[in-house]
A and B are shown apart, each in its own frame.
Chain A
Amino acid sequence: MLKSTFLKAVAATALSFSTWASAQAVDLQFYFPVAVGGKAADTIQELTNEYVAQNPGVNIDAVYAGSYQDTVAKAITASRGGNPPQLSVILSVDMFTLIDEDLIVPFDDYLTNDEDKKWIEGFYPAFMENSQTGGKTYGIPFQRSTPVLYWNKEAFKEAGLDPDVAPETWDEMVEFGKKLTKKDANGNVTQWGVRIPSSGFPYWLFQGLAIQNGAILANADGNKTNFDDPKVVEALQFLVDLSTKDEVMAPGIIEWGATPKAFFEGQTAMMWTSTGNLTNVRDNAPFDFGVAMLPAKETRGAPTGGGNFYLFKGASDEQNKAAVEFVQWITAPEQAAKWTIATGYVAPRAETWDTETMKAYTADFAPALVARDQLEFAKAELSTYQNQRVTGIFNDALAAAITGSKDPATALKEAQEQADQILNEYR
């Protein structure tokens, strides 16, 4: 009897001691999405575990929250329910939405000394365009990408083209595409020249065309779009012409998911898709392939894409500080290199590319450098207040033009009118 009471007392003391110990540690909840296949989720988990092992003062609960769409939905719902995560990776373009919902806090309050300010400057400016507004930094680039052109060197050789030269301009892309488009005896196309996928979110790759044509789709304050700019109309006409007039691309809406597979199967000789697919293509393409910057019209150009770290409202100062330290650690050269190699995402800081790990990787696999070099020409991804809705309107207009139910000018004019209606109240 006495013994068991004693044991209980010991157990109780031990229990209270352990809760006391963990109360000293800062608890963080961290949501992350996975948009590409492969090892992305495992890598984030590994990196988080490594950090927690090195820093006993912090507990990080990394929660895989599904797609980008699922993650932002989860984060918003959790915040409305009074239980926000402290940290989350969410699409960089959702910044204005999150500000509008009053869910995030800028990083600036926790980046006070000169060293921290320098740290912010270390990120590629193209990535920061979608991360800052009104002079404040709301997002820290992490799983960021940009679209590039992949080409099948064997198909190029067969068509009598130099297998080591990718099209430099729009005209060249069409010209090469015509040579690369193959038909069988029945007149059916067996290999298309180029493939620019347009399902789900056609705006992203289309934005590449718009930037190349010298147009900017939305202003930096996120409250005005330029969908009916003549240059945007011209870019859309070019995209539509690829399948209707030039006949170098399959007609109709082209599926994103099937695009790498179509490339592997020889259904298309060139494809535009995210650098997030780099490792996938490297592992699965049964032929020699090349990676190039997107072709130029007036200028080279591409949008950026992908996710940023955001700090959520409702956390204590301590938690936010711990979260910022974690973000600084995971975007530091060694960790970012690991992440880039595992996924193909573009390391967001120049210094990462100078690490031994990255140098060895790029020496062995030069295409990884293309995306980085293209960043010089890259612009912010389309992002506005009520972003999903405005982008949704734009997507519908693009789809209508691509499928021929509206002509580009009309579709874009209508989209601009609708976007104006929504964004008026933010001006």
Chain B
Amino acid sequence: MRSFKLRRDWIHGWLLLLPALVFLFAFTHIPAVTTLINSFFSTPRGRRPSKFIGLDNYERMINDPVFWKVLWNNLWFAIGTIPVSVALAIVMALWVNEKLAGRSFVRMAYFTPTVLPLIAVANIWMFFYTPGFGLFDQITGALFGWPASNYLGNPDTALNAIIVVTVWKEAGFFMIFYLAALQAIPVSLKEAAQIEGAGRWTIFWRITFPLLMPTTLFVCVNAVINSFRLVDHIFILTDGGPDNASALLLFYIYEVAFRFWETAYGATLTVALLILLSLLAIGQFFFFDRKVHYK
């Protein structure tokens, strides 16, 4: 009787889990495993079925200069976007947390870029960057008499131009999390510090910032994921060019898999991305865990 009841509980439990499990497997685990398997096979073409080729795809990846270039670009993209957007988010959150005139308007203004789809954002910035009659050139031309620029068409500036758009888009989103966190910090802590004679900087550095650490962890994990995930604007702004100067890893994967139709090599690159992301996520949790103070 008891074992029967146990088994019923057991079935009951699994049934409750089933819907979530089905989705988790159908959209996460099975595709990931299939991708891994595909990376060991050649790309099937209509007239030539795929065959097992072992590590050939991985060898090709190691020898592919474009792969290393996009990986390097991605590193710069991460270095360029994460610290700046997080720092900006903190500054903006601190500012709109104060009592100031038109506070909700400023908050909304900061948050607007987040609401816009990235494709729309890219089209707006496309106009900003346009050589000659774009917004930036009109301003710098009228104020300083600068010549027409070509930020997107120059391999030295294309990636930076993309980084600026990303920071603009992301900072407002992270600000919302910091704003929520700031409002959860008890005022009494700040007041106590003020009685002790602490200055604004000391209060921020010793009280506010440490208490924001859980949020910073969350935001950083998101920012790292985003630095590998956000590629929509590249399609509009540069299409990865010139000569792959602004291509990122995910963009390259799309290009290989759905433009060149080399699905097997695309799968191999995806495995590389998966490994990279898991390493980063694990690393971040270990690194931050020591510094984060949960209440």
Instruction: Given A103-B46, A261-B133, A396-B243, verify A253-B147 contact (CB < 8 Å).
Output: no
- Select which of A69, A103, A253 is within 8 A of B242 by beta carbon: A253
B239 at the interface (CB under 8 A from A): yes
Binds B, one of A26-34, A136-144, A359-367, A399-407: A399-407
Binds B, one of A110-118, A125-133, A282-290, A385-393: A385-393
Contacts of B130 in A (CB 8 A): 255, 258, 261
State A390–B176 Cα separation when bound (angstroms).
Answer: 45
Binds A, one of B87-95, B225-233, B259-267: B259-267
Binds B, one of A94-102, A292-300, A322-330: A94-102
Contacts of A69 in B (CB 8 A): 259
Instruction: Given A199-B153, A253-B152, verify A73-B47 contact (CB < 8 Å).
Output: no
State A397–B261 Cα separation when bound (angstroms).
Answer: 21
Per-residue CB contact flags for chain A residues 169-201 toward chain B (1 = under 8 Å, else 0) read 000000000000000101111000000001110
A250 at the interface (CB under 8 A from B): yes
Cβ–Cβ contact A252 & B154, under 8 A: yes
State A403–B147 Cα separation when bound (angstroms).
Answer: 18
Contacts of B153 in A (CB 8 A): 198-199, 252-255, 403
Cβ–Cβ contact A399 & B146, under 8 A: no
Contacts of B261 in A (CB 8 A): 76, 97, 101, 386, 388
Contacts of A214 in B (CB 8 A): none
A201 shortest CB reach to chain B, Å: 9
A262 at the interface (CB under 8 A from B): yes
State A395–B245 Cα separation when bound (angstroms).
Answer: 13
Cβ–Cβ contact B46 & A400, under 8 A: no
Residue in chain B with minimal CB distance to A200: B239
B150 at the interface (CB under 8 A from A): yes
B110 shortest CB reach to chain A, Å: 29
Cβ–Cβ contact B242 & A400, under 8 A: yes
Cβ–Cβ contact A102 & B45, under 8 A: yes
Cβ–Cβ contact B141 & A188, under 8 A: yes
Residue in chain A with minimal CB distance to B147: A188
B38 shortest CB reach to chain A, Å: 13
Cβ–Cβ contact B150 & A101, under 8 A: no
Contacts of B238 in A (CB 8 A): 199
Within 8 A of A (CB), among B250-295: 255, 258-262
Cβ–Cβ contact B260 & A392, under 8 A: yes
State A403–B261 Cα separation when bound (angstroms).
Answer: 28
Contacts of A186 in B (CB 8 A): 145, 147
Cβ–Cβ contact B239 & A400, under 8 A: no
Cβ–Cβ contact A199 & B131, under 8 A: no
A251 at the interface (CB under 8 A from B): yes
A264 shortest CB reach to chain B, Å: 10
B80 at the interface (CB under 8 A from A): no
Cβ–Cβ contact B133 & A405, under 8 A: no
Cβ–Cβ contact A101 & B46, under 8 A: yes
A195 shortest CB reach to chain B, Å: 10
Instruction: Given A100-B47, A392-B259, A399-B243, verify A265-B133 contact (CB < 8 Å).
Output: yes
Q: Identify the A interface with B (CB < 8 A).
A: 69, 73, 76, 97, 100-103, 184, 186-189, 198-200, 250-255, 257-258, 261-262, 265, 267, 386, 388-389, 392, 395-397, 399-400, 402-403, 405
Can you list 5 residue pairs at the A/B interface with Cβ under 8 Å? A250-B148, A253-B153, A253-B242, A262-B133, A392-B260
Q: 15 additional contacts, CB 8 Å, given A188-B141, A250-B148? A: A73-B259, A102-B46, A184-B145, A189-B147, A199-B238, A199-B241, A250-B150, A252-B153, A254-B150, A261-B130, A388-B259, A389-B259, A389-B262, A396-B244, A399-B243
Q: Identify the B interface with A (CB < 8 A).
A: 45-47, 126, 130-133, 141, 145-148, 150, 152-155, 238-239, 241-245, 255, 258-262
Nearest first, the 9 A-B pairs at minimum CB distance are A102-B46, A253-B153, A252-B153, A399-B242, A188-B147, A389-B260, A252-B150, A101-B46, A399-B243
